[in-house]
Amino acid sequence: MKGRGSGEGGWAVIHVVTDSTSDLTPEFLAETGVAGRVHVVPLTVHFGEEEYRDGVDLDRDEFYAKLAGGAAMPRTSQPSPAAFADVYREISQPGDVILSLHISSRLSGTHQSAALAARQFDDRVIEVVDTRSVSLGLGLMVVEAAKAAAEGKEYKEILAQVRQRIANVRILFVVDTLEYLHRNGRIGKAQALVGGILNVKPLLTVEDGIVAPVEKARGKAKALERLLDRLVEEVPPERLEMGAVMHAAAAAEAEELAARLSQRYGGARFYIQQLGPTVGTHAGPGTLGVVAFGR
């Protein structure tokens, strides 16, 4: 769960922390080579009066089963500053460095909670970063930071790498319906698309930390074709460094999308991950998306 790199005043232990909107499961962390190297602080998902910690009390399959079963429309809440402070205190010692990478502050108050917690510690370095991203846009930054810490890189070098990714990450996604984004107040600039023509599927992105429309297409198949075309235009194959497909209870479609991406990108591997309960609450079942890091 830690690495050793150069910190202020010598070599310091570096810990990497994120939140559950990163969609990083233990299985995905193992698949990407950083098992046990990332601490994930859960958000809370509420179904009526019932509360579940994302990834702790409620896993992905249970969450989507509850949605399909007609449970009340879920909502989410951020971790408290105390929750972050408890983790920071538990994982580190005076003199250590903590890199705490989080969902866009324009989508959640999670970053603010982490920043408030960090102020309680003056005997260790805690860098709280607003990645202006979400899901594996955030998650792959966390994976890279954990790998760099394990390799012994200096924490300021790791931060510079993260900030480069923030500036260059590309996320594109298609939702089955805008209802979930709209009801949960995360629709951002895509508000203009609400109540549009039947079966017109919006292609969306996360831009400057909020959801924004890219274009509209007639039907999901056409929207996904435009997603592929736009991604290749914006992140050409020769520039791709890492990519992943994200889905909400749409595993077969995600596999097909990953295969089509791999073909477009000369056989490059695209990880596949299901959206967790927090992000799934806002995106809704059937969502398909892709994240790409370009050099």
Q: Which strand (E) or helix (H) includes residue 73?
A: none
- Calculate the alpha carbon distances from 245 to 4, 26, 123, 204, 226 in Å: 31, 17, 40, 14, 15
Cα–chain center distance at 295: 20
Per-residue b or e along 32-56, where b marks 16 or more CB atoms closer than 10 Å to that residue's CB: bebeebbbbbbbbbebeeeebbbbe
pLDDT at 2: 56
pLDDT at 72: 81
Question: Which domains are delineated in the chain?
Answer: 2-43+78-167 (3.40.50.10170), 169-294 (3.30.1180.10)
Per-residue pLDDT of 36-66, as tens digits, reads 999 999 999 999 999 999 999 999 999 999 9
pLDDT at 177: 83
Low-confidence ranges of the chain (pLDDT < 50): 1, 6-7, 9, 186-187, 189-192, 194-195
Residues 6+ apart with CB under 8 A from 53: 42, 43, 44, 45
Per-residue pLDDT of 170-198, as tens digits, reads 999 999 888 787 775 544 544 445 445 56
Both tokens assigned to 94: 């005076």
Both tokens assigned to 72: 């009340």
3-state secondary structure of 266: coil
pLDDT at 94: 97
pLDDT at 178: 81
Output phi, psi for 217, to 5 deg.
-140, 155
Per-residue pLDDT of 262-277, as tens digits, reads 999 999 999 999 999 9
